[in-house]
Structure 1
């Protein structure tokens, strides 16, 4: 067994994990692998949201420790991310109807870890905590490609105007169309950070308008 002396910060190796407040920019996001759990409803009150986080993190840390102890490659567990969607986009931008939201909560995993490593991590978690529904955790390869994104500093409740500006001004002004699901990357821990200081990357996959014709 070998021991790594340094920990890789995966978010520092990918340009699309950099964003500035008040600036919307276009980025090319490479294909990335995630541990993922799906759900529906208000994240502040839906029991399945708490369940999703309660199973994602144990699997993620079991995977990290296995990588460190067995492969000699340690890394920082990346920040929580979420894909969000609704039949009516105004549920995000104006009405903020959280009960209508579908979501996928995610934690990025290094490319050197395989599905077999993830299966072993699930098994390790079950051995310690048999009641945890680790079967909810799957591995996703997310290939978003071209995206528009910005850094939002402030409460999650105040994101609506920023998203409306991205959707209704930036995207059409640059000859783009919305494609995939709204994506958020939570750079701050809301348990330890005041709401007005929360840092969140807001990302929207897009395509050139002529590509959709």
Structure 2
């Protein structure tokens, strides 16, 4: 345990251009490589596998936060939940056949988080509470590169017009994307348990080539 003033880090503020795009206006951003805790799965966004994945991710994310604060005197904010969405048959995605959707839920981590620290913390979480999906948590990097994104306000089911805006911006600029490779990305800034659906804030992002 270190004995020095605690440093405070809020990545969401440092990366404001990536986590606070304009409401209703699609914009271009470049997303560099970041490290994430991830859990992969398939099926309904609110199904049991998804709920278990989210529980495991937050368990490890908060354990990392407390471990780093204690051992390194760095207090960093836990980042919001994010999700990548696609399907092996993108017709299922377009036509909202959610049972066939593939997903990766994830939480971004600061650059000083290491594989060794994640493994150590996962062992600690396993001894204390051992959430069902803990064994599926992995630590990996993702570099999306050039992307278009927009802030959506309201229920997830009403994202359609905003998704169309970012797709239109990409196509009108002469670029393309393949949904199974450049995956639809959502960043959930609101806690649906505490916020009315009409006030939910979600960053909707689409990488392109």
TM-score scaled to structure 2, two decimals? 0.91
Shift in alpha-carbon separation, 1:133–1:90, aligned structure 2, 3 A: closer
The question of whether the paired residues in 2 share the 8 Å contact of 1:36 and 1:56 is answered with yes
What is the SS of the residue equivalent to 1:177? coil
Q: Residue 118 of structure 1 aligns with which residue?
A: 118
Stretches of structure 2 that go unaligned for 5 or more consecutive residues are none
2:61 matches 1:60 = yes
| Partners of 2:28 and 2:107 in 1: CA distance | 23
| RMSD of aligned residue pairs (Cα, Å) | 1.6
Aligned to 2:173: 174
Which secondary structure does the structure 2 equivalent of 1:178 belong to?
coil
Deviations 1:133-175 (A, max 9, x none): 42210011000010000000010011123213322x2221111
Unaligned runs of 5+ in 1: 208-213
2:13 alignment counterpart: 12
Please report how far the alpha carbon of residue 18 of structure 1 lies from its aligned counterpart in structure 2 after TM superposition. Answer: 2.4
The within-5 A match list for 1:141-156 is: 141-156=141-156
In the other structure, the counterpart of 1:129 is: 129
1:2 shift after superposition: 3.0
Deviation per CA, 1:66-117: give whole Å up to 9, x if none: 1100011110100000000023445445x32221211000011110111011
Alpha-carbon distance in structure 1 between the residues aligned to 2:13 and 2:108: 13
Q: What is the aligned partner in structure 1 of residue 97 from structure 2?
A: 97
The count of aligned residue pairs is: 204
Paired residue for 2:87?
Answer: 86
